[in-house]
Amino acid sequence: MRAYERLIQYVKVHTASSLDTETTPTTYRQFDLSRRLAREMRAMGMAEVYEDDYAYVYGTVPASPGLEQKPCVGFIAHIDTVPEFSGANVKPRLVENYSGEDLPLGSSGRVLSAEKFPHLRALKGHTLITTDGTTVLGADDKAGVAEILTACERLLNSDLPHGRVVVCFTPDEEVGHGAALLDIDRLGADFAYTVDGGELWEINYETFNAASAHWDVTGLSVHPGSAKDMMVNASLVAMEINAMLPAGDVPAHTEGYEGFFHLTGMSGAVDKAELDYIIRDHSAALYQARIESMRHIEHLINAKYGPGTAKLTVQEQYRNMAERLKHSMGIVELAKRAIEKAGLEPQLIPVRGGTDGAQLTYRGLLCPNIGTGGYCCHGPYEHISVENMDLAVQIILNIAGEVIRR
């Protein structure tokens, strides 16, 4: 079976995670796909297939005879889709011999625009897989799942020499919990790769350092007619807090290695207000400086309006995995060779976000990220091509081949 055939089956299974529950998985429907994958893995002859109580699925492709002592490589992808846009009733469309021009998405009124998405020109002649414009496709990251399992099937049914290959498919990556309960010992990999990126030539081993910041602002509400020198309007104080942050350090004005403060939510009245931010920076020093800037603002606001007016709560989310991987760049070089063997020129691209691999790397499993060949995830314009998926499978197989040459 080819990877795209698997993808078309998987995306029809509704697996969106949720921001509103604290269980793992955050939605029970993720078991619908995890159990299906476990059955499929057993049917194709994978060993040590195991699905736990949290919808994590593990499996092994045993090493070729004589190669049992070679390093064990892992491949990881996630089964959930983004909660912010519908992943129910997905209707994937196959567009053969794509023209490279604008492509209407069903009757939704949405159009894949070659002007807005210039990479589409490079997909001319490919067989495109798109949505009907009303849902996500779910190639993020069911394409990664499909590509990994297709590569495993190829290894099991060919004489391609390889060491032990292990896989894990995780829930809840889209809400930041995908790596939290992954059993590294059960997986048994010496190192691993998440297959959860975009361009096939990308290798990601640098992520943001990340934290969330929550502000509780307490005001003093009195009758506005007699408020002189007494009222403290919490909503206005919240606006003042935001105004004290650098206006250019926001996602809309930053790129590459530039960090930011991102206001994700706000609410308020005269007596109470709240602000929610995420803080991001690739540099550990600048990341810490951003947190200290917020703490300084907290001090200034409380000095101006009185103790307890502003309360800042910062929670670390993940760290830049480059801090660990920079001492073990051999696995990044291995991925580069695998991509070159597929006829592409590899590029090291920093992730303006995080990956499951970032958490796993800090837990002790070095885990950079490689691409699936998909585009425009997290919305109705998501798409991928059959040819890109075939090439992604080849890159995974190339990695398995390169491991035994280490």
Give 255-279 pLDDT, tens digit per residue.
999 999 999 999 999 999 999 999 9
The rounded distance, in Å, linking the Cα atoms of 62 and 251 is 45
The rounded distance, in Å, linking the Cα atoms of 27 and 19 is 10
Is the pLDDT at 176 greater than 90? The verdict is no
Kindly state the average pLDDT of the residues 302-315: 97
Which band of pLDDT confidence, cut at 50, 70 and 90, is reported for residue 171?
very high
What is the reported pLDDT for 114?
Answer: 94
The rounded distance, in Å, linking the Cα atoms of 128 and 385 is 4
Is the pLDDT at 119 greater than 80? The verdict is yes
What is the reported pLDDT for 211?
Answer: 94
Cα separations (Å) of 76 from 83, 225, 326, 370? 20, 62, 21, 10
What is the reported pLDDT for 239?
Answer: 98
What is the reported pLDDT for 85?
Answer: 85
Domain with CATH 3.30.70.360 in the chain: 209-318
Which band of pLDDT confidence, cut at 50, 70 and 90, is reported for residue 84?
confident
Residue 279 token pair: 């803080």
- What is the SS3 string spanning 68-127? CCCCCEEEEEECCECCCCCCCCCCCEEECCCCCCCEECCCCCCEECCCCCHHHHHHCCCC
Q: Which residue has the higher pLDDT, 351 or 366?
A: 366
Domain with CATH 3.40.630.10 in the chain: 3-206+320-403
Active site residues: 80, 173
Q: Which residue has the higher pLDDT, 311 or 327?
A: 311
Kindly state the average pLDDT of the residues 382-386: 98
Kindly state the average pLDDT of the residues 325-348: 96
What is the value of pTM for the model shown? 0.89
Angle, vertex CA 227, rays to CA 222 and CA 229, nearest 5 = 120
Kindly state the average pLDDT of the residues 11-27: 94
Which band of pLDDT confidence, cut at 50, 70 and 90, is reported for residue 178?
confident
What is the reported pLDDT for 295?
Answer: 98
Kindly state the average pLDDT of the residues 288-293: 98
CB atoms within 10 A of CB 211: 21
Indicate the CATH number for domain 3-206+320-403.
3.40.630.10
Which band of pLDDT confidence, cut at 50, 70 and 90, is reported for residue 198?
confident
Which band of pLDDT confidence, cut at 50, 70 and 90, is reported for residue 177?
confident
What is the reported pLDDT for 354?
Answer: 80
Indicate the CATH number for domain 209-318.
3.30.70.360
Q: For the CA atoms of the chain, what is the radius of gyration?
A: 24
Kindly state the average pLDDT of the residues 286-294: 98
What is the reported pLDDT for 353?
Answer: 83
Share of the chain above pLDDT 70, in %: 100
Kindly state the average pLDDT of the residues 118-140: 96
The rounded distance, in Å, linking the Cα atoms of 373 and 388 is 5
Average pLDDT along the chain? 96
What is the reported pLDDT for 197?
Answer: 77
SS3 165: strand
**Contact criterion met (CB below 8 Å) for 219 and 232:** yes
Type of residue at 214: H
Is the pLDDT at 406 greater than 80? The verdict is no
